[in-house]
Every structure is written in structure tokens, then in C-alpha cells.
Amino acid sequence: MLKLPKLTIGNIKLKNCLMLAPMAGITDLPLRQLAVDGGAGLVFTEMVSATAMVYGDKKTYKLLTTSDKEKNCVAAQIFGTKPEIMSECAKRVQDLGYKIIDINLGCPAKKITKVGAGSRLLANPKQVENVLSAVVKAVSVPVTIKTRIGLLQGQNVAPEIIEIAQNCGIKMVSLHARYAEFAHSGDPDLEAFALACEGAKIPIVANGGIVDIKTAEKFLKIKNCSGLMIGRGAIGNYDIFKQIEYFFDKGQMTPPSTIKTRLRWFRQHAIDSIQYYGKEKGLVVLRKIAPYYIKGLPNACSIRNSFNKITTLEEFDKIFKNLE
């Protein structure tokens, strides 16, 4: 039977090899804390603009707020294209107490790629090398990268990027097994992922389309797969980390999360969000997340419309008190 690999990133030994993927506008402090409660061994901040941080943008620094609950299992993800800016940003992140710094080489969003960052960097391997080398030399903590198998279907550049990363001193690569042109749609390309893992001398963590034990197992069967990174499959379903860990440890399935469990997560998210953002903004920022909690509920559309109008926890309870 398959077992979850043990995973060490540089000098950091994780409690397990299961991670929450960084997601822009989603993996803020309140959500990361829920993922830690759900069993994630490592969580990542939202993408942080290196340029914005170097120029002292207050909103950017807010993204890097951490809590005691996650302080030993959180990594900061940064993005940019200029080695000197990226290295300065990395120094500042390290000064904040982060023990792992991650570089984004995979985001397909137009606002990121139009400036040459994110997945667009995959078209310029030399610049990738320049950026990675600069960041690694600037800090003493382990540096990792998150990337894609390539920009366009059939153009698997991951083996080349992984080789560059190894040579630059990168300690782990999380690899989204979809091409950037497909964003988050379609099945992951397991063959391309396997090819990228073949010659790897550092941990390669699988990402893309992992939503349950079955999809997790497909990646774990691949030689040199060192762990799993879960994104949208974990939102509102934070027990997925414990469920996967228990299955590959004990060989037994745990009961699936119930609607009651999901609503309990949702209420805790609301409480934490209000505490983090304040009463006026706390529930407003959850509007983009709400569909993950509400899906499958009776009259889900109506519930979502009602949720989008509330501003207090009391109104939250009024909507959901009869659904459990």
C-alpha cells in the first residue's frame, strides 16, 4: 500500500507532505488557519508583489500577517521579474520571521503575466535562473518555487526549470500539472508530471486537480512524487488533509465531511475574518468564498444571494441556523 512520503525542505521538517496551495485573494490568514486545523503540514500566503513590498505598500505587508497557530508551518510566496527587487523583497520577508520563501513561476492571470511574471517567466529560462539565484543568495532560509509544466499544451518545460532550480539552490518545487493556457480547467497531465520528476534531485510536490483520495493516489503512484499540494479542493473542505493522511497511514477511509461540518467551518471562517478585517469588511471578503461552503445546499442560489447582503455574524446565524 502507498504511504505518504516524509518531507523535509532544506532544514525544515514538515509534520506531513500535505500542503495548502497559495491562491490569490483566497489564502489569507483566516483561511490558512482553518487549513492548519484540517491537518495541512504547510500553508502558503497569497502572492505578494515584490515591487509593492520593496516600496512599503501597507496592504502588501498586511498579506504577510501570521498567527501563532501557523507560525511554524507557513511560507510566504512572492512574485516579480527583477532579481534585485526579488532579492530585497526576500530579505524583508525573512526579517518578518518567515522560515520558507516561495517564488511564483506559475500564475496564469493576465495582470501577472502581462508584466512578465508568474507563468510568463517560463518563456525565459535565463531570467528564471537570474531571479532564483538572486533570491537564494539573499536569504538564509530555504527557497522553493511553484511552477507549471509549461505555457502551452505539449511544451513541457518543467524538466528544464527543475534542473535550473536545483542548480540555483532551490529546496523544493511544487508543480502544477496543467499547462498555463488551461488555468485551472481540465485533467492534470500525469505523464508530463512524471517526466518532470524523473531526474529530480529535490522534492517535487504535485498540484492540480487533487480533490479526494483517488486523485491524490494518482500522483503518489508516480516515482519521485514527494507530496501533495491542494488548492480549490480544500476550500470549505479542510478535513481533506486529515482524510488523505489517515487513508495512506491506516488504509481506511474516514467518513466524508457533512453539511453540518462544512457550515461549522464556514461560521469559524466568518468569526476569524471579522477578527482579522474588522466588522465592516469581515463578511464582505467572504463573498467570493461562500459558494464553496454553500454548494449542494437546498436553495443554494437563494442562500448565496442572502449572504451577499449581510454584514454581521448575527445575520449569518439567522441564515444558516435551520440548515444544519
Active-site annotation, residues: 107
What count of Cα atoms within 13 Å lies in the side-chain half-sphere of residue 173? 32
* Contact assessment for residue 292 and residue 236, using Cβ atoms and an 8 Å cutoff: yes
Determine how β-strand 18-20 pairs with β-strand 12-13. Answer: unpaired
* Contact assessment for residue 141 and residue 100, using Cβ atoms and an 8 Å cutoff: yes
**CA 173 – CA 176 distance, rounded (Å):** 10
Helix 83-95 with 125-138: angle, nearest 10 deg = 30
* Contact assessment for residue 244 and residue 228, using Cβ atoms and an 8 Å cutoff: yes
What does the block give as the cell for 204? 517535487
| Region at 308 (left for phi over 0; alpha for psi -120 to 50; beta for the rest) | alpha
Residue 161, exposed/middle/buried by CB under 10 A (0-12, 13-18, 19+)? buried
Give me the residue label for grid cell 536545483. Answer: 166
